[in-house]
């Protein structure tokens, strides 16, 4: 028996200067949907998430709440960990950068290897420091005297630091990005990254300990603290055991997918690649970059007061409803918008009156029978879709409209399209295709009215119900990465194992149910 193909996926590790918001929930469910899909494809998946707990921004946030930094990060990290549980995220490990056993040894080992490569040196730095970025920024990042992203004036700092020779690796990083050696998703972000590499300087990799005590000391020099990015980015390998002999590092590295937000592209597509090139480690295969969630057209911001807390949404509507909104309604790679009214409309329209009502109708019609067996082959095409079936603009080749039954459409059109989109990590497109199919099933019921045929043409009704049950089971398997709880409920209700995808020869109405309560 051959070993399974591995798939290693990570989220970014968010700063703990505040509580979780809907933006990180988006990233978490995107990564989880990919992880679940890859597992369902038979791959050996390792999924890492965690929290970034050092740095000036965190230390100042703790001070503002009159708390010790350790107490502060313990409380905040617990919130992020709890959010992942509430959202049914299937991460295998939750890494914390304050973990002296799991994280620190790998950071120290990586620093020493970069130093051995001749890429760490001490120098004097004068520049503008943005606390929001946890980084020194250049004139390209400043507009009207403030950081273009964080809208706050940077601090002028002059100090002695350790530097990393990033400029040395800029040409090689540029070639890797342009050639697809490291694939950027979406591809339209590539010019943005290439622009970042133009005239990029060496970067500061430490701060004086007197100014930043909250962090990991530079190996061999306690007067300096490792800068947050040289501390945080290695989590992707320390979480696998790098620096402490962990077997998972040998098994799973390099990463198959880093899932990140567009505001930290430079650190992952430039800094991180430079660090790995310095020490000769394999590079991540894909960097998946999602956009921001805006609220009524504005970026979420504490100062504006429009930050969306995901916990109340989960409490009110359930994890699957929140997952659906984030994966179906928010563009996979571009910015998306959130507002309460739209969320309610989506919940009621797509979930309560959509898949929920459809399942309830089918179960009610099926409940008259012990089971619904697979029809004879000659009967499978007796009840095709009657209305125009320009479904997803996917070619049906030589198949005529008259031959397209729901089960045929599911097997021969929807499944290939769904897999194609998921393999490209186009999550929203894959989800939307399934919901378009479910809407077609509602039309199918109105075309043939099996609820009337049950009394007059029982065998015809059974054929139609088999198509409907088969289609719902197919859809349930497709939405497993998106709505895992809902998927299992549909499968159970129709008498299908949630663990086995064996050919479905018959269906039974185990129980009538309402998937989503009206709110």
- Note whether 14 and 157 are same-domain residues: yes
Convert 461-472 to b/e letters by CB count within 10 Å (16 or more is b). Answer: bbbbbbbbbbbb
* 280 Rama sector, left if φ>0, alpha if ψ -120 to 50, beta otherwise: left
For residue 293, pLDDT beyond 80: yes
Which pLDDT score, from 0 to 100, does residue 319 have?
98
- Note whether 77 and 171 are same-domain residues: yes
Q: Which letter does DSSP use for residue 147 in this model?
A: E
Q: Which letter does DSSP use for residue 305 in this model?
A: T
**What mean pLDDT value characterizes the chain?**
92
The pTM assigned to this predicted structure is: 0.93
Q: pLDDT tens digit string along 359-418?
A: 999 999 999 899 999 999 999 999 998 766 666 654 444 444 456 899 999 998 999 999
- Note whether 280 and 182 are same-domain residues: yes
* 246 located within any domain: yes
* 302 located within any domain: no
Q: Which CATH number goes with the domain that contains 367?
A: 1.10.730.10
Which helix (H) or strand (E) is 429 found in, with range?
A: helix 427-448
Range of 58-67, 150-159, 277-286, 502-511 with top mean pLDDT: 277-286
- Note whether 235 and 342 are same-domain residues: no
Three-state secondary structure call for residue 318:
coil
- Of residues 69 and 228, the one with the higher pLDDT is 69
* 380 located within any domain: yes
- Over residues 44-70, the mean pLDDT reads 93
- Note whether 351 and 265 are same-domain residues: no
Asked which of 290, 321, 346 is the last residue of a domain, the reply is 290
Asked which of 231, 263, 290 is the last residue of a domain, the reply is 290
Is 487:475 a contact under the CB 8 Å cutoff? no
Tokens of 73: 């990060």
For residue 53, pLDDT beyond 60: yes
Adjacent-strand bridge partners of 28? none
Q: CA 53 to CA 133: how far, in whole Å? A: 14
pLDDT band per the 50, 70, 90 thresholds, residue 273: very high
Q: pLDDT tens digit string along 472-500?
A: 999 999 999 999 999 999 999 999 988 87
Q: Which letter does DSSP use for residue 348 in this model?
A: I
* 470 located within any domain: yes
Q: pLDDT tens digit string along 84-128?
A: 999 999 999 999 999 999 999 999 999 999 999 999 999 987 778
- Note whether 276 and 348 are same-domain residues: no
Which pLDDT score, from 0 to 100, does residue 400 have?
47
Which pLDDT score, from 0 to 100, does residue 398 have?
40
* 328 located within any domain: no
* 321 located within any domain: no
Residue listed under structure tokens 């097997």: 411
Longest pairwise C-alpha distance within the chain = 89
* 1 located within any domain: no
CA distances from 289 to 136, 292, 361, 424 (A): 22, 10, 40, 13
- C-alpha dihedral over 38, 41, 44, 48, to 10 degrees? 10
Q: What are phi and psi of 382, to 5 degrees?
A: -70, -30
Q: pLDDT tens digit string along 161-214?
A: 999 999 999 999 999 999 999 999 999 999 999 999 999 999 999 999 998 899
* 311 located within any domain: no
Tokens of 305: 């007061």
Average the pLDDT over each of 69-83, 220-234, 337-351, 389-403 and give the range with the smallest value.
389-403
Tokens of 10: 């990570």
CA atoms within a 13 Å half-sphere pointing along the CA-CB vector of 326: 31
How far apart, in Å, do the first and last CA atoms of the chain sit?
A: 50
Tokens of 506: 């018959």
- Enumerate residues 6+ apart whose C-beta is below 8 A from 81: 51, 94
Q: pLDDT tens digit string along 113-124?
A: 999 999 999 998
- Note whether 284 and 377 are same-domain residues: no
- Note whether 352 and 460 are same-domain residues: yes
- Note whether 29 and 120 are same-domain residues: yes
For residue 61, pLDDT beyond 80: yes
Which pLDDT score, from 0 to 100, does residue 173 have?
98
Q: pLDDT tens digit string along 253-269?
A: 999 999 999 999 999 99
- Note whether 168 and 51 are same-domain residues: yes
pLDDT band per the 50, 70, 90 thresholds, residue 135: low
Which pLDDT score, from 0 to 100, does residue 504 have?
84
Question: Which range of residues forms the domain containing residue 197?
Answer: 6-290
Q: Which CATH number goes with the domain that contains 132?
A: 3.40.50.620
Asked which of 290, 320, 346 is the last residue of a domain, the reply is 290
- Note whether 245 and 102 are same-domain residues: yes
CA atoms within a 13 Å half-sphere pointing along the CA-CB vector of 15: 19
Which helix (H) or strand (E) is 6 found in, with range?
A: strand 6-11
Number of domains within the chain: 2
Q: pLDDT tens digit string along 143-156?
A: 877 887 777 888 77
Which pLDDT score, from 0 to 100, does residue 188 have?
98
Q: CA 407 to CA 38: how far, in whole Å? A: 24
- Note whether 258 and 370 are same-domain residues: no
Which pLDDT score, from 0 to 100, does residue 395 have?
43
Beta-strand relationship, 257-261 and 286-290: parallel
């Amino acid at each position: 028996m051959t070993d399974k193909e591995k798939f290693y996926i990570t989220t970014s590790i968010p700063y703990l200067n505040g509580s979780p918001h809907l933006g990180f929930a988006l990233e978490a469910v995107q990564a989880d949907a990919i992880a679940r899909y890859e597992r369902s494809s038979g791959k050996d998946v390792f999924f890492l998430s965690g929290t970034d707990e050092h740095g000036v921004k965190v230390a100042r946030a703790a001070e503002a709440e009159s708390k010790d930094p350790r107490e502060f990060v313990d409380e905040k990290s617990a919130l992020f960990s709890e959010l992942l549980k509430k959202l049914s995220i299937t991460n295998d490990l939750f890494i914390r950068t304050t973990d002296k056993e799991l994280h620190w040894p790998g950071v120290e080992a990586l620093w020493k290897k970069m130093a051995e490569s001749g890429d760490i040196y001490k120098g004097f730095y004068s520049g503008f420091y943005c606390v929001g970025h946890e980084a020194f920024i250049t004139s390209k990042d400043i507009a009207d005297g403030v950081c273009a992203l964080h809208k706050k004036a940077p601090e002028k700092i002059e100090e002695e630091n350790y530097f990393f020779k990033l400029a040395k690796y800029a040409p090689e990083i540029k070639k890797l990005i342009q050639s697809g050696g490291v694939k950027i998703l979406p591809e339209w972000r590539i010019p943005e990254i290439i622009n970042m590499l133009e005239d990029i300087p060496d970067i500061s990799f430490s701060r004086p300990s007197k100014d930043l005590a909250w962090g990991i000391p530079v190996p061999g020099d306690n007067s300096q603290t490792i800068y947050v990015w040289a501390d945080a980015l290695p989590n992707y390998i320390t979480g696998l055991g790098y620096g402490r002999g962990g077997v998972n590092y040998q098994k799973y590295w390099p990463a198959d997918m880093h899932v990140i937000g567009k505001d930290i592209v430079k650190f992952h597509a430039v800094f991180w690649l430079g660090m790995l090139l310095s020490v000769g480690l394999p590079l991540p295969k894909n960097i998946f970059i999602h956009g921001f969630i805006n609220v009524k057209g504005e970026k979420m911001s504490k100062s504006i007061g429009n930050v969306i807390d995901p916990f109340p949404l989960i409490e009110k509507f359930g994890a699957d409803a929140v997952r659906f909104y984030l994966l179906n309604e928010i563009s996979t790679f571009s910015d998306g918008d959130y507002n309460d009214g739209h969320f309610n409309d989506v919940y009621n329209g797509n979930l309560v009156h959509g898949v929920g009502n459809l399942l309830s109708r089918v179960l009610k019609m099926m409940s008259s029978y012990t089971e619904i067996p697979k029809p004879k082959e000659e009967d499978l095409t007796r009840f095709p879709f009657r209305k125009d079936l320009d479904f997803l603009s996917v070619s049906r080749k030589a198949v005529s409209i008259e031959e397209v039954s729901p089960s045929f459409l599911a097997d021969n059109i929807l499944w290939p399209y769904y897999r194609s989109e998921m393999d490209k990590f186009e999550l929203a497109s894959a989800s939307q295709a399934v919901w378009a199919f479910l809407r077609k099933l509602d039309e199918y019921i109105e075309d043939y009215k099996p609820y009337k045929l049950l009394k007059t043409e029982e065998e015809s009704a059974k054929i139609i119900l088999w198509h409907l049950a088969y289609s719902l089971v197919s859809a349930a398997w497709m939405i497993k990465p998106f709505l895992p709880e809902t998927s299992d409920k549909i499968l159970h209700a129709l008498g299908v194992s949630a663990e086995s995808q064996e050919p479905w020869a018959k269906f039974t109405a185990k129980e009538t149910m309402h998937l989503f309560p009206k709110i």
